[in-house]
Amino acid sequence: MSIFADENTRVIVQGITGRDGSFHTRQMMAYGTQVVAGVTPGKGGRRFEGPDGIAVPVFDTVADAVAETGGADAAVIYVPPAFAASAIMEAADAGVGFVVCVTEGIPVLDMTRAHALARDRGCRVLGPNCPGLISPGKAKLGIIPGNIVEPGPVGLISRSGTLTYEAVHHLTRDGLGQTTCVGIGGDPLIGTSFVDCLEAFAADPDTKAVALIGEIGGTAEQEAAEWAGRHLEIPAVGFIAGRTAPPGKRMGHAGAIISGAAGTAEEKTKAFEDNGIPVARRPAEISKLVGELLGR
């Protein structure tokens, strides 16, 4: 099994006609994801040509896309930051239950409203500023490269994009395939937390171990560690990026900043270790620790 999305998930792509949107939609389709429609305001009525001669209709609005294609389970958003929060709200308002927002650079006050609407409408948001997720062999929603994953027993959760790929790459090479790899995003306000993912992995019988890839800033890793300590019955491994980051400086991700004494790598590492989660010192070590815990 997998969490959040699989081969039956019917996906709409918002911003399908843009440079990134069209590139990654083709990659998603090539991976086998059920993309049923695209949305770009002003481009309704066209068709989007995917790989292998498959084409999907493009609509002006998500509501039309949902109505005309017999429903959608998820939307993936590749629209510019000025319009991305609005795109999330549009999808949530149209009744889409799961929204993956890849866009980076969305104003945080926009996101306070978008997250509120998503909660009001019962919509799960993954991201923003996230690489999305991939359920190996089933579907990918977002931009995680399909060639670095394999089906298997490991659930992976990360605040980062490329660091996720790095970790997955090692897991796959070491024969440790994945149920689902989830990039939760590097923004301070994200829709799906480590804990949300842990709960989902805990309920998935196929996931036998979890890797948690965190970074400096905020307290999401500490909360995850505490939750895992109390509820998680499968082994988990942690990693924290940003040990060398100076306090008060934003390290790229809007969420990756040490404020005062809070949100340091030390604090997070301690939280993991206090809750029985070994912490890798190098990205390559993550896979090694997971393998040990799984008795491989």
Partner 1 sequence: MNLHEYQAKELFRQAGMPVNPGEVASSPDEVRALAEKYGGTVVVKAQVHSGGRGKAGGVKLADGPDEAAEHAETILGMEISGLVVEELLVSPAEKIATEAYVGVLVDREGQCPVFMVSAEGGVDIEEVAATNPDAVHKLRVDPRYGLMPHQAYWMATRLYDEPALVRQCAKVLSGLYDAFTRNGASMAEVNPLISTEDGQVKAIDAKVSIDGNELFRRPTVEALRDTASEEQGAARAREAGLSFVKLDGSVGCCVNGAGLAMATMDLVKYYGGEPANFLDIGGSSNPDKVVAALEIITADPNVKVILFNIFGGITRCDDVARGIVEAAGRIDIRVPLVIRLTGTNEELAREILADAGFEAVASMDEVVQAAVRVAA
* Strand, coil or helix: 121: coil
Rounded to a whole number of angstroms, the minimum distance from the CB of residue 200 to partner 1 is: 20
* Strand, coil or helix: 206: coil
Query: How many CA atoms are closer than 13 Å to the CA of 137, on its beta-carbon side?
Result: 10
Rounded to a whole number of angstroms, the minimum distance from the CB of residue 67 to partner 1 is: 11
| Residue with smaller CB distance to partner 1, 225 or 234 | 225
* Strand, coil or helix: 208: coil
Q: For residue 184, which of 224, 137, 152 has the smallest C-alpha distance? A: 224
Distance CA 143, CA 127 (A): 12
| Residue with smaller CB distance to partner 1, 122 or 260 | 260
Rounded to a whole number of angstroms, the minimum distance from the CB of residue 290 to partner 1 is: 17
| Residue with smaller CB distance to partner 1, 15 or 152 | 15
Looking at the DSSP assignment, which residues form a beta bridge with residue 47? 57
CA distances from residue 129 to 61, 63, 79, 236, 241 in whole angstroms, order as listed: 22, 24, 11, 25, 17
Contact 212, 236 (CB under 8 A): yes
Tokens linked to 217: 């800033």
Tokens linked to 271: 């939280």
| Residue with smaller CB distance to partner 1, 200 or 213 | 213
Given the residues 24, 115, 170, 253, the one annotated as active site? 253
Contact 186, 216 (CB under 8 A): no
Rounded to a whole number of angstroms, the minimum distance from the CB of residue 198 to partner 1 is: 17
* Catalytic (active site) residue 253: yes
Q: For residue 210, which of 238, 172, 241 has the smallest C-alpha distance? A: 238
Rounded to a whole number of angstroms, the minimum distance from the CB of residue 23 to partner 1 is: 8
| Residue with smaller CB distance to partner 1, 189 or 210 | 189
The set of catalytic residues is 253
